[in-house]
Amino acid sequence: MSTTTTPREWKLAELAAEAGVSPRTVRYYVQRGLLPAPPFRGPDTVYGEEHLLRLRAIRALQARFLPLDAIQVELARLEPEALRALASSEPPAEPPPTPTPASEAHRATPPPPGTHWQRWELAPGLELHLADTADTKTRALAERVRALIQESQER
């Protein structure tokens, strides 16, 4: 009776598939110093368990919206046990977004077909679109936003 064991070494494509990233990402992480360089053996270069653990830890930290620079610092300070625990942790489930007054307003009934829109360029790269059916309060808000941007540009 034979028992199957998880391989302790992987070729680049195998490691990438196991970690759920592309081979290009693995190479990039090695280049950035997030992963140690594997011992080079030409076409027989293999990656070890530490590489897989670090890739999984990187994914867990990315799920927390950390940038790569912060992830690199975090990985450097982790002890092997902490790295293993982080790598085996499930990424936190994202809670559903909490409605805010702005998002509730966005969910308002869409304007009727044939509504015309005014396009205001508030600043380079920033536009505001205002429907001709907008109520007085919404128009006043749009005018206030435009005035605030004009004031900030005059300073």
Residue 138 has φ and ψ, to the nearest 5°, of -65, -40
Return the pLDDT at 46: 94
Q: What's the total number of domains in the chain?
A: 2
Contacts of 139 (CB under 8 A, 6+ apart): 130
CATH label of the domain that carries residue 25: 1.10.1660.10
User: Would you call 139 helix, strand, or coil by DSSP?
Assistant: helix
User: Final residue of a domain: which of 62, 88, 114?
Assistant: 88
75-95 pLDDT, tens per residue? 999 999 999 999 998 654 444
Residue 3 lies in a domain: no
Mean model confidence pLDDT for the chain: 83
Cβ pair 46, 11 in contact under 8 A: yes
Q: How confident is the model at residue 113 (pLDDT cuts 50, 70, 90)?
A: confident
Residue 116 lies in a domain: yes
Residue 25 lies in a domain: yes
Boundaries of domain holding 112 = 101-154
Return the pLDDT at 47: 95
Overall average pLDDT of the 21-41 stretch: 93
Both 77 and 29 in a single domain? Answer: yes
